[in-house]
Every structure is written in C-alpha cells, then in structure tokens.
Amino acid sequence: DGGITQSPKYLFRKEGQNVTLSCEQNLNHDAMYWYRQDPGQGLRLIYYSQIVNDFQKGDIAEGYSVSREKKESFPLTVTSAQKNPTAFYLCATIPGQGITEAFFGQGTRLTVV
Amino acid sequence: AQSVTQPDIHITVSEGASLELRCNYSYGATPYLFWYVQSPGQGLQLLLKYFSGDTLVQGIKGFEAEFKRSQSSFNLRKPSVHWSDAAEYFCAVGGNTGKLIFGQGTTLQVKP
C-alpha cells in the first residue's frame, strides 16, 4: 500500500538523550515536512525538505535536526538541546515543490521520562 | 505575516444540528486553503481544499467551505452533524513557498 509510515508510534526518552523519529514514504512525493503538535497550539512546522539533500528550517527548528539523503526518507532527530520535547510529531508529504494537498502519517508520540 | 486563526477552540453542537467552524487567514499572495480533520492520536485527513474557481467547495463526509476573499475567511460548514464528526478540525493556508501553515484547531464535541 502507498503511504507514509512513522515509527515508532510511541517513544520514551530520558533527559539528555537524542532520539530519532522515522518517516518513510512510498508515494514518490518530492516534499516532506515535520510538524510538532501540542494541545491548543495546532501544528507548528519544524523542518521541511522539497528535494533530496536540501532542507529548510521551519518556525521551531531549534533543538531538532533532519537529513534527506533519500527521497523516501526524512528522519527527525530530537536533540538534548530541545528543552521541552514531549509532544506529538507528525510527518507529511506533498507531491511537488509547490503546495497542493499534504498527506500525513499517523504520528509519533514522544514522552520525556 | 502569514497566519491562520481559528477563533473557536472548542465547540459543542447537538447531533443533527448545523455546524460552522470559523477560519481567518493572513497571507500575502494567492492563498491555497485547506480543512483537515484529526481523530485522537491519529494523523490528519483532508476534508476539502480551495485553490481557485468556485468559492464554495464541497468535501468529504458532507462538509463544505466558502472562500470569502474580502473577509479573508474560509469557514467550514455541515448542515447536520453526526456523532462521528466529533474530532479536532484544522484550517491551513499555503502557496508557492512550499510552507503549509495551520491554525490552532477547533475541537468539536457532539451531544446526543
């Protein structure tokens, strides 16, 4: 089936640890996005990539890093510099480099313990 | 600045009643507008989108939205709400920059 796979669904991190969230797509979409969702704040853009080997910071990139080595994959690393990482993280894709419809994965819930 | 405002954080309606969720946007260029729905712990599903043309757009699950350029609004409506419509609804705006900007969301509760 075509789609976007985020893994794991739940992730627990100890303070001071880096963790990586996976986002894989087989839709052959050019652009991929990472959003963070907190209650009452909607979705905030962390990073996005419109082509392989290129990515741009979103509105809340501090404490996060990404890579786009393959078209299918856009992993997000939450570093120890992110002071409040507990949130729901959503990966999305868009077919081309302009805005059409965004397709979303099922999300990863990250909790700091 | 580009932004989306959903003035109502939480709305409660009775099953069978009509629904209108408000969305106002600020965008410097021609906006592309979207409404998404999210069930708890899930990703977002597209309800409908507006790019150009007829300002009244039809979506899935009986939803529709009207683009009003003069009011910078894109309100979502449904004539008769079902209990299964209870969810969180997000309005979003985008364009040729490649960025999609979301509102804060409106949580819909449906009373039996």
Phi-psi sector, A107: left (phi>0), alpha (psi -120 to 50), beta: left
- Identify the band that residue B16 occupies on the pLDDT scale cut at 50, 70 and 90: very high
pLDDT surpassing 70 at residue A35: yes
Query: Is A95 within 8 Å of chain B by CB?
Result: no
Residue in chain A nearest B91 by alpha carbon? A42
Residue in A42, A99, A104 closest to B95 by CB: A99
What percent of chain A clears pLDDT 70, i.e. is strictly above it? Answer: 96
Residue scoring higher pLDDT (B97 or A85): A85
> What does the H/E/C string look like for A43-81?
EEEEEEEEECCEEEECCCCCCEEECCCECCECCEEECCC
pLDDT surpassing 80 at residue B98: no
Query: Is B86 within 8 Å of chain A by CB?
Result: no
Q: Do A35 and B104 touch (CB under 8 A)?
A: no
CB-CB neighbors (< 8 A) of B98 in chain A = 31, 48, 50, 56, 94, 97-99
- Identify the band that residue A40 occupies on the pLDDT scale cut at 50, 70 and 90: confident
Q: Are A109 and A62 in contact (CB under 8 A)?
A: no
Query: Is B41 within 8 Å of chain A by CB?
Result: yes
Residue scoring higher pLDDT (A48 or A2): A48
pLDDT digits (tens, 9 = 90+) for A58-80: 999 999 999 999 999 999 999 98
The helix or strand, by DSSP H or E, that contains position B91, with its residue range, turns out to be strand B87-94
User: How many Cβ atoms sit within 10 Å of the Cβ of residue B6?
Assistant: 21
Q: Are B60 and B76 in contact (CB under 8 A)?
A: no
Q: Do B97 and A99 touch (CB under 8 A)?
A: yes
Q: Do B104 and A94 touch (CB under 8 A)?
A: no
Rounded to a whole number of angstroms, the distance from the CA of A29 to the nearest CA of chain B is: 13
Query: Is A28 within 8 Å of chain B by CB?
Result: no
Phi-psi sector, B61: left (phi>0), alpha (psi -120 to 50), beta: left
Q: How far is CA A100 from the centre of its chain?
A: 19
Average pLDDT over residues B51-62: 93
What pLDDT is stored for residue A1 in this prediction? 58
Query: Is A106 within 8 Å of chain B by CB?
Result: yes
d(CA B36, CA A86): 23
pLDDT surpassing 90 at residue A46: yes
